[in-house]
Structure 1
Amino acid sequence: MHSAIPRSLKVLVMAVASGILALTAPQLAAATPKPPVQAEPCANRVAPPPPVDTSEKPQPGEVAPGPMPVPERPVGGARLADCGTVVPQGALNPPAGNTAASWVLQDLDTGAVLAAKDPHARQRPASLIKTLLALVVVTELKADQIITPTKEDAQQECTCVGITAGSKYTVDQLLHGLLMHSGNDVAHAFATALGGVDKTVAKMNALAAGIGATDTRAATPSGLDGPGMSTSAYDLSVIFHYAMKQPEFAKAVATKNYEIPAIGDKPAIPVYNDNKLLGVYPGFLGGKTGFTDDARHTYVGGAQRDGKRIAVVMMRAEQTPTRVVEQAGKLLDYGFALEADHAEAVGTIDYQAPAKPGDPPGAAPQAAAVQGSANTAAPAAEDAFGTTGWILTLVVFLIIAGGFVVGHQRKKAQADSGA
């Protein structure tokens, strides 16, 4: 006759426990998230390798800028976050003998990334950054505009075309010298014409950001290493993709031999294209080479075959066991083979053309779209009483209810005993 009370207590305890677990389980699950999947660390995800010389040492009183922020989502597609080689499923491996630390193959027409290796690794561009300078030049200066180099322009650390201070050159002539022979003297002359080195570098960085090159920060107009210099194979693919749409740029990089005419008593300046695939690789469209001690060898080039245009970017490559241009040619062959097999792209060249003078601003609609989606997905207003308050209320209710049950069972037991 005393078994009713223990049974009631058991019922009460189980009810309270069940109620608490029912309400707290989701909250506990949310408070203890699953540990993130540990991806293989990428050595240069944030910054290029340490410099081997003092070229990036800031000037007295200056501080080197910190690394560029890494986007939360990889630009161009999820697979492009990988550090290693990224190829279509079922595709053959890339050709052996490639020494580049990172590279990207792209379709110049569709923007499809055909294959890559560590595409967003932060590297130094060397003279490939001149492609970005050239874009600023063709945007802001007219082809027939006259530029008169200063003594400082003409005395830059070479590679140099050989322009002379006080002579007069057209923008088109200098553009050929910039892109064909990678003239640092020409790069500085353009910077002077664009308002000075600091303003020119700022314009280059603004353009890079505007077309979606989020790994890129120029430190010098020429590509000579400087504090904070950064880019990636992916970004240079974005820049080259956009540059090849500019007729002045495409014409200059496709020129094998050029001559800047004689000026007064100054002899003509012959200019030869440094890109040794030009005239050798079938359908080669042109490109750019680069080298510094810190960047090592860098390369970009494109070619056309069977109606397809493919470009390759290589970063931090070495000239052995074969020359970098030969390695690039094999990668281009590999890209054309992937296209012929209709291999699925591993990513995309995600860029937008920068706004032109007179165009309506494009940033505001994008910002509004992002804000709109954020509002749509926003959670409902938080309950002021709180989950904890409701849990405590339930517990009190169950205890009171349990008290009534226990009291009722006790009275019934006493009545049974008296009978």
Structure 2
Amino acid sequence: MTGFRVATATFSALLLTPAVAVGPPARAAAAPHVPCPTVQPPAPPPTAPAPPPVDPADGAVGGEALATAGLVTPAGVPTAPAVTATSWLVADLNSGLVLGGCGPHERRTPASVQKLLLAAALMPRLDPAQVVEVTRADLRDLDPASSLMGVVEGGRYSVESLWLGLLLRSGNDAANVLARVGGGPAGRQGGVQAMNDEARRLHANQTHAATPSGLDGPGQYTSAYDLALIARATFAREDFRRYIATRAAQVPFEIRNENTLLDSYPGMVGGKTGFTDLARQTYVGVAERDGRRLVVALLGAETAPLGSLGEALALLNWGFALPADASVGRLVTPGEDKQTSLAVAAEGQGRGRVAESRSFPVPVGLTLGAALVLVVLVLAGWRAGARRAARRR
């Protein structure tokens, strides 16, 4: 369901003016709305239905500063890069600190990054050595133009092979089989229900799964903050990290990993792309440097000028350049209730400030203030795979 080409690109780090601090807001509503730094794509995206509004209490999970549809970053840090993504978040998976975001709790359509929720829900339940047979129903509603692992009716595959097909090739067929097997007597719908149960357990309150693969379905949404919670659950598993970092596997036919950033971006642990006409480009990725493990989640990106992978790199570079204790909130844990998460987040709110509205986006390559040249990252000769977009019929 992904299916886009990212051109060879040179990403120059931004030379930025620090944001002006305004002190810790008593409530998120008291903070000025700061528009997200954006880049206009060459062509406007298709019109999409407006997502349901976010409950104010859910919007404040992880910190009251996160209850915004605009930009939230720590005070005194370089301005976040301008991107086409309609929402994004960068967080530290080790400490749980949220470094910044744009509309972090806003509902957006997930596309294939929804497969991470399938892994979070069912990987603990399924024996990787179990061999399952593919049925006609597993393949019945799949567009042959969508991203597929390549299983066939009557074929027998290990659960481990299906996980590899799901994560390396974004196999919608693998997602259907895994959901059916993991859903018990309720079959595929049982697997989808397990995904929604897992979202509630993680406090991913804006997330609702309608399909196991992320193919567009009624009422199917997530948020950048929710995706960071889901990524923390999946990347905490050794088996998931091993699967998503696998370059090639025999299942029994050969499949190759389409996350080209594994060999292009220093410290890349793994990532998942997504695309549908409705969702546009989506991405979740994790990279590690000097003991810091950062996750970036973005939704609603366009193919140009950078594409979701280029935008993810710009956001990761921005995150790694921030102090280790910079934050505007935190990733809540499954064991805490909503009141506990709000109280803990409010207690730590002094570490992060909402950027004052005079903080403005800086276009790529533009020098402001100090004559300082930062890192130039060249990504040449790679592409994001030859998968065609999956479209709902």
TM-score, normalization by structure 1? 0.66
Residue 351 of structure 1 corresponds to which residue in structure 2?
A: 333
3-state DSSP of counterpart to 2:214 = coil
Shift of 1:246: 1.3
Matches within 5 A, 1:25-36: none
- Contact 1:256 1:272 (C-alpha < 8 Å) held by counterparts: yes
3-state DSSP of counterpart to 1:82 = coil
Shift of 1:87: 1.1
Q: For 2:340 and 2:148, locate their aligned partners in 1 and report how far apart those are by CA, in whole Å.
A: 47
Letter in 2 for 1:77: G
Letter in 1 for 2:131: I
3-state DSSP of counterpart to 2:293 = strand
3-state DSSP of counterpart to 2:296 = strand
- Contact 1:70 1:215 (C-alpha < 8 Å) held by counterparts: no
Letter in 2 for 1:271: I
Matches within 5 A, 1:2-401: 69-71=55-57, 74-96=60-82, 98-155=83-140, 156-157=142-143, 158-195=146-183, 196-261=187-252, 268=253, 270-338=254-322, 341-352=323-334
TM-score, normalization by structure 2? 0.70
Shift of 1:51: 8.7
Instruction: Select the structure with the greater relative contact order (CA < 8 A; seq sep ≥ 6).
Output: 2
Letter in 2 for 1:299: Y
3-state DSSP of counterpart to 2:167 = helix
Shift of 1:79: 0.9
Taking a change above 3 Å as real, the CA distance of residues 137 and 238 of structure 1, as seen in their structure-2 partners, is same
* Stretch deviating more after TM superposition (189-198 or 104-113): 189-198
Q: For 1:192 and 1:329, locate their aligned partners in 2 and report how far apart those are by CA, in whole Å.
A: 35
Shift of 1:168: 1.1
- Contact 1:91 1:343 (C-alpha < 8 Å) held by counterparts: no
- Contact 2:88 2:103 (C-alpha < 8 Å) held by counterparts: yes
Taking a change above 3 Å as real, the CA distance of residues 227 and 51 of structure 1, as seen in their structure-2 partners, is farther
- Contact 2:58 2:205 (C-alpha < 8 Å) held by counterparts: no
- Contact 2:116 2:234 (C-alpha < 8 Å) held by counterparts: yes
Percent same amino acid among aligned pairs?
40
Taking a change above 3 Å as real, the CA distance of residues 78 and 147 of structure 1, as seen in their structure-2 partners, is same
**Structure 1 segments of 4 or more deviating over 4 A?**
36-43, 50-54, 65-70, 366-370
Taking a change above 3 Å as real, the CA distance of residues 67 and 331 of structure 1, as seen in their structure-2 partners, is closer
- Contact 1:256 1:279 (C-alpha < 8 Å) held by counterparts: no
Taking a change above 3 Å as real, the CA distance of residues 83 and 232 of structure 1, as seen in their structure-2 partners, is same
Letter in 2 for 1:347: G
Paired residue total: 299
Q: For 1:346 and 1:254, locate their aligned partners in 2 and report how far apart those are by CA, in whole Å.
A: 30
Q: For 1:100 and 1:369, locate their aligned partners in 2 and report how far apart those are by CA, in whole Å.
A: 31
- Contact 2:301 2:307 (C-alpha < 8 Å) held by counterparts: no
Q: For 1:117 and 1:52, locate their aligned partners in 2 and report how far apart those are by CA, in whole Å.
A: 20
3-state DSSP of counterpart to 1:301 = strand
Q: For 1:74 and 1:300, locate their aligned partners in 2 and report how far apart those are by CA, in whole Å.
A: 22
Taking a change above 3 Å as real, the CA distance of residues 206 and 69 of structure 1, as seen in their structure-2 partners, is farther
Q: For 2:207 and 2:338, locate their aligned partners in 1 and report how far apart those are by CA, in whole Å.
A: 22
Q: For 1:306 and 1:337, locate their aligned partners in 2 and report how far apart those are by CA, in whole Å.
A: 12
**What RMSD in Å do the two structures reach over aligned CA positions?**
2.9
Letter in 1 for 2:228: S
Structure 1, unpaired ranges of 5+: 1-35, 44-49, 57-64, 262-267, 354-362, 371-419
Taking a change above 3 Å as real, the CA distance of residues 37 and 332 of structure 1, as seen in their structure-2 partners, is closer
3-state DSSP of counterpart to 1:106 = strand
Taking a change above 3 Å as real, the CA distance of residues 348 and 197 of structure 1, as seen in their structure-2 partners, is same
